[in-house]
Amino acid sequence: MSENFIDHVYINKLLEEAKNAGDDLIKNALDKAQNGETLLHNEVAALLLTKNSSHIARIFEIAGKIKKRIYGNRIVMFAPLYVSDFCVNRCAYCSFNHGNDTKRSRLGMDEVREEVKILEMMGHKRLAIEAGENDSECPIDYILECIKTIYDMKFENGEIRRVNVNIAATTIENYRKLKEAGIGTYILFQETYHEPTYNSVHHAGPKKDYAWHLTAMDRAQEGGIDDVGGGVLFGLADPYFDTMGLLLHNEHLEKKYNVGFHTISVPRLCPAEGMNISDFPNLVDDDTFAKIVAVIRLAVPFTGMILSTRESHDMRKKLLQLGISQLSAGSSTEVGGYGKRKRKEKTNPQFFVNDERSATSIITELMDDGFIPSFCTACYRGGRTGDRFMSLAKSGQIGNVCLPNALMTLCEYAMDYGDDLFREKTKAVIEKEIAHIANETIRKKTIENVEKIRRGDGRDFFV
């Protein structure tokens, strides 16, 4: 196998042995997770494979507790921005597949501004640029221009404060350029860690090279990007194999660069134009998926977990309780999709999403369910990336930093985009939550800043 940090023989052995894991091993693993101890590989594998309903109930309970302890009620909001669907790769699952005979497009800078304006009107402060891979139609300079265009935009209600980037695996030199452009997280999904499956679903193009794709995060680190986000596309290969692969990849980055994934995404295969989802034999059912999300939460408690609108309203509600800390809202998965939606034009998405609710209704429901939608980008703005963010998370100071930031950005959101009812709701939530800021100085300052935001006397505060 190409990369020994994804040792297929080792993962298969772990999964094989996990089938016979005894009750004691699983109970001990659950106790360790509950106490915040690091789990061993065989323990994670045993938790993944258990079918025992009382063990699964306990996995869910502990995942919920860890989530609450580390992240509180905060849910960070974001949206994708598709800029180009030209692609030289032939990924069997994607409608941007080079073999699909569709009309392709790339946004001009005026179109980027038009899309971003719509996203800003939804209240978003954090975007993820998405693009197919095509060096002539969508070279790195074009992506850099998009990033600059977005960061240069100023609105009455502030600006997009963090641009994450989800583009194809590239060179150290290009990663360096992305770093210099001030990106937030570089996101790349391995799709599957299982090399034979990887080879069978990537039919042509540079992405076909498993090792090139797998080592992208190493090159990103070499290029100075210490904030990277991984993920697998659940539905391609054995989901347990892929979850172990994801965790081993994270460990490899931790060992080599002193910092693992900042976030882990858990995309699940959706129907798309040009593919038939029933051709994929490893689709993951809802119960298995929920168990996997919860086990990831137990295995890497300090890594943010991202859920997209690929999941249904009901699944999103459920998974929020099990470890998800970032949620997209109001998303379009196509180039120029936000403008097209507004103009009610026919669409051509990368795949069909499940949660089609507006950002406002998602954010309102989060509040009604006791969550704090957060538009915070403070770590990025304060240079607290990579291992500096992890030290903050592990020091237990998140409550004194992320909570005030979440409350101040929620207050801004309510004043900028909310109606009277939403503002009233926000006021009640903020008053209740401010009491949980342990540090008295920070608590007082937050109260002061929230008042300033309400009066229109200031904004953009962060700890």
Q: Which residues bind ligand SAM (CB under 6 A)?
A: 93-94, 130, 132-133, 166-168, 188-189, 191, 233, 267, 269-270, 272, 310, 350-351
Quote the least distance from Cβ 217 to ligand SAM, whole Å.
12
Using the rule CB under 6 A, is 97 a contact of ligand SF4?
yes
| Complex with ligand SAM: residue 179 or 381, whichever CB lies closer | 179
Using the rule CB under 6 A, is 106 a contact of ligand SF4?
no
Quote the least distance from Cβ 27 to ligand SF4, whole Å.
41
Quote the least distance from Cβ 165 to ligand SF4, whole Å.
13
What is the CA 280 to chain-centroid distance, rounded?
Answer: 24
* Contact call for residues 253 and 227 (beta carbons, < 8 A): no
Among ligand SF4, ligand SAM, none, what does residue 195 contact (CB within 5–8 Å per kind)?
A: none
Distances (CA, A) of 311 to 23, 90, 234, 268, 278: 32, 24, 12, 8, 18
Q: Which stretch binds ligand SF4 (CB under 6 A): 91-99, 148-156, 354-362, 430-438?
A: 91-99
Tell me how crowded residue 157 is: count the other CB atoms within 10 A of its CB.
15
Quote the least distance from Cβ 92 to ligand SF4, whole Å.
9
| Complex with ligand SF4: residue 133 or 334, whichever CB lies closer | 133
Quote the least distance from Cβ 190 to ligand SF4, whole Å.
12
Torsion angle (degrees, nearest 10) of CA 386, 299, 323, 410 = -20
Report the distance separating Cα 183 and Cα 165, nearest Å. Answer: 7
Report the distance separating Cα 372 and Cα 223, nearest Å. Answer: 35
- Phi first, then psi: what are they for 78, rounded to 5°? -155, 175
Quote the least distance from Cβ 463 to ligand SF4, whole Å.
37
Own/partner pairs, 29-36, CB within 8 angstroms, 24+ separation: 30/55, 30/58, 30/59, 30/62, 33/62, 33/66, 33/298, 34/62, 34/65, 36/66, 36/301
DSSP state of 124: -
Using the rule CB under 6 A, is 87 a contact of ligand SF4?
yes
Quote the least distance from Cβ 273 to ligand SAM, whole Å.
9
Q: Which stretch binds ligand SF4 (CB under 6 A): 25-33, 55-63, 84-92, 223-231?
A: 84-92
Report the distance separating Cα 23 and Cα 39, nearest Å. Answer: 16
Quote the least distance from Cβ 203 to ligand SF4, whole Å.
10
Using the rule CB under 6 A, is 333 a contact of ligand SF4?
no
Among ligand SAM, ligand SF4, none, what does residue 228 contact (CB within 5–8 Å per kind)?
A: none
Strands 326-328 and 304-307: parallel
- Phi first, then psi: what are they for 205, rounded to 5°? 100, 170
Q: Which stretch binds ligand SF4 (CB under 6 A): 30-38, 85-93, 217-225, 400-408?
A: 85-93
Which tokens in the block code for residue 345? 């034009």
| Complex with ligand SAM: residue 130 or 238, whichever CB lies closer | 130
Distances (CA, A) of 266 to 56, 171, 310, 313, 350: 19, 25, 10, 15, 17
| Complex with ligand SAM: residue 67 or 316, whichever CB lies closer | 316
Among ligand SF4, ligand SAM, none, what does residue 233 contact (CB within 5–8 Å per kind)?
A: ligand SAM
- Phi first, then psi: what are they for 297, rounded to 5°? -60, -40
Among ligand SF4, ligand SAM, none, what does residue 412 contact (CB within 5–8 Å per kind)?
A: none
DSSP state of 37: P
Task: Please identify which residue in 132, 235, 304, 373 interacts with ligand SF4, judged by CB under 6 A.
Answer: 132
- Spell out, one character per residue from 133 to 172, where the chain touches ligand SF4: x when CB under 6 A holds, - when not: x----------------------------------x----
Tell me how crowded residue 57 is: count the other CB atoms within 10 A of its CB.
10
Among ligand SAM, ligand SF4, none, what does residue 97 contact (CB within 5–8 Å per kind)?
A: ligand SF4
| Complex with ligand SF4: residue 164 or 400, whichever CB lies closer | 164
Which tokens in the block code for residue 186? 């570089």
Strand intervals (E) in 335-453: 372-374
Residue carrying structure tokens 């669409």: 347
Q: Which stretch binds ligand SF4 (CB under 6 A): 94-102, 110-118, 154-162, 416-424?
A: 94-102
Quote the least distance from Cβ 335 to ligand SAM, whole Å.
10
- Interacting residue ranges for ligand SF4, rule: CB under 6 A: 87, 89, 91, 94, 96-97, 132-133, 168, 207
